[in-house]
Structure 1
């Protein structure tokens, strides 16, 4: 498995009372490597990610693309052979064995361009692919969360970000119950990847749809993150940053409670505030 972190020799500059000092030191960086997903021997997509929980990332991405909704539709996953310049296994290529009925649909939506860990929909072959089909009959809402609990989610998320604590260079997504219990947390250099890893873990454990849950993310709330939450059945998405206009519009349509600027003692609720108790 690829490394989560790497060490690098750097030069540290610091302002002092007498000027700027310079000294060498070792720093820890979050690892970033490409991951290629293949279906039937053909490339489905290539994305940049922090190695680790790769099968969860692959499964979550399939959910986010609207290609699978149950673990049974994803029959197996395996690392393909691939080595680096030292002849070591890279673990950067995964072969997905899908239900045969889904293979053609998967390949018809594949991305032909390299995508970054943070770009979300860039690289999709058609703008129509952005608008994934939401469930026609979504599960009956079950989430009710107190305002105090909702305000505490960013702190709980941050307190459990081990990789961020050592590198300061990754995003996180946390799945929470209505009482504020942390059910799942994943970190990655890409905020979209962090959400996909959470969703993928739940898919593989047979826990979709995620009715009655909330997702807290460490960055802003984009259209793509709301879309991922909607396809996974999440009822509330909260972000420490701002939402985009499209994120708010989709959350309104999908029936998701969208919160933003969740920092300290305040936050903004942009859609469906009925799930939050004062």
Structure 2
């Protein structure tokens, strides 16, 4: 796990049946949060607070979300490099903390505009954008035309499948997760964790682009928290037709999903779920019928 988790001392206070408190000092595992500066061709584009690991996927997914790339052929390479505050020879220290990633785009792919750099926190992937119009980018993929369907009972199982693969959450209780599932078979393709919801989604989209899987037609994006505008946008930009969340969507997320033709499900927990946009893609039937279709 390395830099993904860090042990820190914590005072744990417990209460017995009579209400008496006992304090005990002990180490506790925390999710690591560190900045990652994403550069394109040596020019700084963005800084995000993230959990280290799968940084190349994170950068690739971020570039998809920003409309800079749309296929594996657009992304040539990426390398961690040193810089101020990152360690490494450029900083006068022998150790590189791998908090700067420089991406090289394929020949002919337009680089981001020089004034497009911005800062993101781990809780907001769109903070710093000038206006809502700047966020509402035009996807190169038409999710509204995707004829995918998913059985409601299968969709209801995806959160538990996602949770079963949240290995770092088990240690820290402090990470979001995102996963890609094949709507037809229910197969889980990839799961990633991060302190930021948007980072976790960027990582799975980045995995897809590095495996030449875009657009992600016929795929369900399952997230462990709420469905915000930014997550709907990222799904649309990657050609994902269905977004499923264990918690609530925002009003703006629902509006964007409806406008883009994306199926948006929320409160997907155990025995129920709510569908806020394009409900016809989620089929309802008996468990026996679902098993027969899967077989």
Please say whether Structure 1 and Structure 2 have the same fold, judged by a TM-score greater than 0.5: yes
> Where does residue 249 of structure 1 map in the other structure?
255
> Where does residue 272 of structure 2 map in the other structure?
266
TM-score, normalised relative to structure 1: 0.94
* Change beyond 3 A, Cα 1:166–1:251: same
Contact 1:67 1:106 in 2 (8 A): no
1:115 and 2:120 matched = yes
CA displacement at 1:110 relative to structure 2: 2.2
What secondary structure sits across from 1:3 in the alignment?
helix
Matches within 5 A, 1:198-209: 198-209=204-215
Counterpart selection for 1:88 from 95, 100, 111: 95
CA displacement at 1:80 relative to structure 2: 1.0
CA displacement at 1:106 relative to structure 2: 4.3
Contact 2:144 2:241 in 1 (8 A): no
CA displacement at 1:135 relative to structure 2: 3.2
The answer to which of 96-105 and 39-48 deviates more is 96-105
**Alpha-carbon distance in structure 1 between the residues aligned to 2:204 and 2:192:** 6
What secondary structure sits across from 2:112 in the alignment?
helix
**Alpha-carbon distance in structure 2 between the residues aligned to 1:117 and 1:100:** 31
Deviation by residue 1:183-209 (Cα, 9 ceiling, x = unmatched): 110000001000000000100110000
Consecutive unaligned residues in structure 2, runs of 5 or more: 285-295
CA displacement at 1:94 relative to structure 2: 0.7
What secondary structure sits across from 1:234 in the alignment?
coil
**Alpha-carbon distance in structure 2 between the residues aligned to 1:103 and 1:123:** 22
Contact 1:2 1:52 in 2 (8 A): no
Deviation by residue 1:169-225 (Cα, 9 ceiling, x = unmatched): 000001001132111100000010000000001001100000001011011000100
Counterpart selection for 1:99 from 106, 122, 130: 106
Consecutive unaligned residues in structure 1, runs of 5 or more: none
**Alpha-carbon distance in structure 2 between the residues aligned to 1:62 and 1:219:** 23
TM-score, normalised relative to structure 2: 0.88
Counterpart selection for 1:214 from 220, 226, 234: 220
**Alpha-carbon distance in structure 1 between the residues aligned to 2:213 and 2:124:** 27
1:175 and 2:180 matched = yes
CA displacement at 1:2 relative to structure 2: 6.2
> When the two structures are aligned, how many residues end up with a matched partner?
276
Counterpart selection for 1:152 from 157, 163, 184: 157
**Alpha-carbon distance in structure 2 between the residues aligned to 1:124 and 1:276:** 34
The answer to which of 59-68 and 82-91 deviates more is 82-91
Deviation by residue 1:5-24 (Cα, 9 ceiling, x = unmatched): 00011100112224111001
Deviation by residue 1:106-152 (Cα, 9 ceiling, x = unmatched): 434321xx321111200124443211112375584142111110111
> Where does residue 53 of structure 2 map in the other structure?
52
> Where does residue 289 of structure 2 map in the other structure?
none
